[in-house]
């Protein structure tokens, strides 16, 4: 059996209003365009989640809202407050409760970068993988029967992209 994870860091957020609480920062125009580009990229490759586990921050929800229109069907979204600035260990704990075969997680750095690095047996050959910039998206497969068996170093990297590579 195979389980697939699509791991996306939120798109570029807006810092124009310094009084906006971090949790409530929206996407900027570049971030909105990047989210739409990511949706097109995911759809073109057939990377379609059955369920999205999303931080409850505005910028992660807006990233999903930008991605979703490009994907076929209806995807269930579960907002997870625990994913807001979660550590890699918390992200793994959340993932282990998943019940569908293809899961998308949308979160934040630095936790999401550490999570991505610790999951893969071999890192993708892309210089941006190390810093996992906004919008970075990793697609991995696990040769496991249930998400509760997911662990560090077990994921095979299938694909990795950053929005800058899509905006051509």
Helix (H) or strand (E) holding 62: helix 58-67
pTM: 0.97
Q: Count of domains in the chain?
A: 1
| Mean pLDDT for back-to-back runs of 10 residues, the chain (168 residues) | 96 90 94 97 98 98 98 95 97 98 97 98 95 97 98 98 89
Per-residue tokens: 158: 């299938």
Q: Residues 10, 55: contact at Cβ < 8 Å?
A: yes
Structural domain boundaries enclosing 81? 3-166
The number of residues in the chain equals 168
Q: Residues 160, 126: contact at Cβ < 8 Å?
A: yes
- What's the Cα-to-Cα distance from 119 to each of 33, 49, 98, 108, rounded to whole Å? 28, 18, 16, 16
Tell me the CATH number at 162.
3.40.50.1240
Within 13 Å, how many C-alpha atoms sit on residue 75's CB side? 26
Q: What is the per-residue pLDDT for 168?
A: 64
């Amino acid at each position: 059996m195979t389980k697939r994870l699509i791991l996306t860091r939120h798109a570029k957020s807006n810092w124009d209003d310094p009084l906006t609480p971090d949790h409530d920062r929206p996407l900027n125009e570049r971030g909105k365009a990047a989210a739409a580009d990511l949706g097109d990229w995911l759809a073109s490759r057939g990377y379609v989640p059955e369920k999205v586990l999303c931080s409850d921050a505005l910028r992660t929800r807006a990233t999903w809202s930008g991605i979703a229109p490009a994907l076929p069907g209806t995807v269930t979204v579960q907002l997870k407050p625990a994913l807001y600035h979660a550590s890699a260990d918390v992200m793994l704990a959340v993932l282990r409760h998943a019940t569908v075969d293809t899961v998308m997680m949308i979160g934040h750095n630095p936790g999401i970068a550490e999570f991505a690095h610790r999951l893969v047996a071999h890192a993708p050959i892309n210089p941006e993988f190390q810093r996992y910039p906004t919008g970075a998206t990793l697609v991995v497969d696990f040769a496991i029967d249930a998400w509760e068996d997911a662990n560090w170093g077990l994921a095979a990297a299938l694909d990795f992209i950053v929005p800058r590579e899509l905006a051509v």
